[in-house]
Every structure is written in structure tokens, then in C-alpha cells.
Amino acid sequence: MDKISDVSLEECSQSKYLKPYRLRFTQNGIEKTWDLMKVNDSLAILVYNPFRKVLVFVKQFRAALYWAKTESYQDNGTTKIDTTKYPGSLGLTHELCAGLVDKDCNIKEIAQHELLEELGYKVPLYKIEKITSYRSGIGVSASKQTLFYAEVSDVMKVGEGGGLVEEGEFIETVEIPVDEGKSFIYDESIAKPIWTMFALQWFYDNKYKVAKAAE
């Protein structure tokens, strides 16, 4: 998954995915502008297998993270990154199973679909519990993200997961023992998004204590 080569960068005046708009408004009598972008709403699911006491994540390569951690050089007018100096592993993250809310169906059904596609778990809807929702990228897009929690068992594992291989997605399932999850949150050597860290903290605050008390 992290065999990355032939990296180059170019300016991109017409991006299908990143399209800036400018909002003009007057705030308390002062004329202002703010540049912003439309980003799809999204969801993410924290997955816990209480039978084997593991938290389940996806591991993947993130181009933006790789770029942010590397330095480029100029080669005949092309901006390149030296992958012998900066290996692809610099772009790997651990994240919750996640997806975009771009389909015209129930948001819990989208969560259910992502659990199957990325992790190979067929989880009944009643096992998918909402944690909370909030606005992400508050300065640029303020898109809505909803967090869910799902307890799974090995009998729900019906597929390999891994994402859409035909679309070139490389996603690896990673299991972390529940006793190690709390130090994982604050281990800065393992890159992870803040919503993954938040959901883990919620888990230790709300679910883990109850599970431990019942043991």
C-alpha cells in the first residue's frame, strides 16, 4: 500500500474536488469577503469487537499527509518529491472506517455499507449507534460529519474489506487491543485524524468503563 513512486506536483486551476467560492457579506457595518469550498458531508464509525477485545481501524495512504511531511525539488521545470528520501510510509494514517454522505439513503445505511466495503463486517442497523455530529473544517467548508459506534463480532465478518480495489483503493484493516487504545490516541508517531482521536476518547469515557465493570 505504501509503495509510492514517481511523485510530482502541479498547480491546478480547475479542480473537480476543490473549487473555491467567495462569499461577500457585511458584518456589523463592515464589508468583508471569505473564500470557502463545498465539501461533502461525511460519517465515520468507531468499531469495537468486545469478544476479542480489539478496536478496528483502517490504515491507508493519504496523499495530502505525504505532501505535508515532505520537501520537493525542481527537475527540468517539474516539481518532484524524492521517494528514496521520503518513503510512502510517511503518508500512512490510522483512521476510523469512514465514507461520504453522497447517496440518497439513510445515513445509518451508508455507515452499514462502509463497514462492509472497508472492513468486511455485515453489521445490523440496530448495532450502529450515533455518537454525535459536528461541523468539520470550520474555516473552509464546515461540512457536517456524523460519528457512529458499532460493536461487532467475528460472525459478522463476511468479507475481506479493503475498499474498492477496482477503483485503486488500498485499505488495510488494523486491530488494536483495547488496553492499548488510550495510549494510541496520544502517540504522535502514528498519524490519525482528530475525529478518530475524539471517538476513541468517547469510547473510553462511555463504553470501556461499563464493559470493564461488567467483567
**Nearer CB in complex with a second copy: 131/152:** 131
**Nearer CB in complex with a second copy: 157/190:** 190
Question: What's the Cα-to-Cα distance from 176 to each of 45, 129, 139, 205, 207, rounded to whole Å?
Answer: 15, 21, 33, 18, 16
Nearest to 128 by CA among 200, 206, 47: 47
Cα within 13 Å of Cα(208), Cβ side? 19
- Buried residues in 103-116 as b, exposed as e (16+ CB within 10 A): eeeebbebbbebbb
Query: What is the C-alpha to C-alpha distance for residues 92 and 190, in angstroms, rounded to an integer?
Result: 8
**Nearer CB in complex with a second copy: 124/139:** 139
Residue 198 beta carbon to a second copy: minimum distance, rounded to whole angstroms: 5
Residue 193 beta carbon to a second copy: minimum distance, rounded to whole angstroms: 5
Residue 52 beta carbon to a second copy: minimum distance, rounded to whole angstroms: 25
Residue 202 beta carbon to a second copy: minimum distance, rounded to whole angstroms: 7
Cell numbers placing 181: 487504545
